[in-house]
Structure 1
Amino acid sequence: GTVRGVAWSTDGRAILGCCLDGSVRVWSVDTNDDATVTIRAGVDGTYSTTFSPDGATIAVSCFDGWVRLFDARTGALRREWDAHPGSTCHATAFSADGERLVTCSWDHTARVWNPDDGTPIATLDASDGVYAIAISPDGSLVATSGSTIIVWDVATGSRRHVLAADGAEPTRLEFSADGTRLASGWSDGIARVHDVGRGTLVSALGVPGPRVETVTFLPDEERLATGDVAGTVRVFPVSGGPARFTVDTGGRAVNHVASAGGRIAVATDQLWLVDAARGGIVFGTAPHDDTIWHLSWSPDGARLATCAMGGVIRILE
């Protein structure tokens, strides 16, 4: 079935795929064999999956609202709980130290859990459905995306900031590596960077236009790459100003961008590799027969994993 997302283990030796048919599969990158572990995680389907920071546990968010944690080596179920009763669980994310697991749902909440026993730590009550989450590197803050972005204090469950744009809704969220800034794409064609401590706007990047579907900080943390539904990739200085360069992928909607080692990988119905310094297209290829939903660099930046609607994961050197 369709593979919605891929994730690497922290040592780069295993790749994790999440499928709409409710299965999760783990492959050993070194052997290139069939899946070493196949997990039947959700009866109706799964939304997302991720490794814990130590690589020992796989967390899966399911259509039925449950969160299920599995042993990454054996596939055995470790624990499960109904994280969002009567609703769906859209996403899961571990804090960097692995001590917290955050989930979100259309039930207007994001919830923070102790992954060791499934006990709740905090319920973050948003004003509408939450379909994306991001955790600050130190685990103290959670950002949720609905009709607005809300930045939450995990310790107290209180709102730190509400970030909004007139007539626009946020799409993708990403904290900077030092946790001081939050980048977001918006439906009005603008990417925005906010100061997390103050809740103030650092920069609004671009001009009104097609929805910005994906954003990512480049490794230097001074530039931001964006991709929109019209097929345009732009790289901006985080502090503000015009785009350093623009790349046109030919009108194909950009679903995801990710950067490593001086390159930006771009997912449309093809895979594009862009020079992060000069902006030229290094190459374009079609590793799948259909739309690429997601891509992910290995921790060392040497390999790139892509997944698509057809149920295939490709790993490129």
Structure 2
Amino acid sequence: MGKINRIAVVGCGALGSYYGAKLWKVGHDVVFLLRSDYQVVRSNGVLIESSEESFVAHPKPAKDPHEVGIADLILVALKTTANHRFRELIMPLVGPNSVVLTLQNGLGSDDELARIFGPNRVMSGHCFVCLNRIAPGVIKHLAHGRIVIGEYSGPPTTRTWEIAEIFRSASIQCDVVENVQRAHWEKLMWNVPFNGLGVAGIVGYEGFMSKTLDFAPEVVLHPVLTTEDLLKHAGWREVIKGLMEELRTTAAAYDIQISEGFIDLMFELTSVMGPYKASTLLDFEKGLPMELDAIFLEPLRRAATLQVSTPLLQRLCDVLVALDGLRERIYQK
């Protein structure tokens, strides 16, 4: 691949803004494709608040993809609920040597990007980081920050390592993996329980474990559950572990082996996050659509395809689908 001169960030929420700002800080030509935060970022830049280092970045802001021009590296950090806009938002940025790297949650986004732009152009990865967008143009970094990347269509190549070095130059831990699909299943083992139960937990532990769902207006619903809330409740801890085991078993059915010790590692890493609200909780509280398909329903479909029993995942999906339909009623002003 040629020299990386311009980096475009498509999807400038907490994740895209954080990593884009860090790349800008070390001198890369970074363009943010923005929507609601455009005026704020244009006027004030992006403020990154972190115990490691707080700073203001001034990437080039753009409202329309045609303003961005051709980018050498396109970082896709959209919510998966916006995947139907891939062609509209990304196609104007793609040149002969452009690389499209998705850092989105869940399963299937890289498949769709490969169908549109070709498998050899696409890279895939995920981030293990605690971030919140606390105001327009303001990102709070709470913990972690590691990125894992790999090639969509095969083992790492020279460009894989070159792009990893770009992240490392910005003091971002970036690991290259042989099998990026395994990395996706590993991230699901965190996302599914902590994003999912954080929302589903509003029905209460007993309500979640019961065989029926009751969302009558008089039913009292609880607040969403932070990572700390989930970890300090023995019942929820068992559900978390059970979900992780179901996902590990499903991955194994697809010849993706994840060690049992990985479950203990997820508990250990989560224990230092404090009362963290994962992104799905924040979306739900704002009355926004949750990333149900990529994070929850697609893993369930893949389990069903190979007849892997996933009763906890099925229950979680049933509760989340029901709550997603009621989110406006639950959080109406």
TM-score w.r.t. the length of structure 1 is 0.29
TM-score w.r.t. the length of structure 2 is 0.28
The structure whose Rg is larger is 2
Relative to its length, the structure with more strand (as a share) is: 1
Relative to its length, the structure with more helix (as a share) is: 2
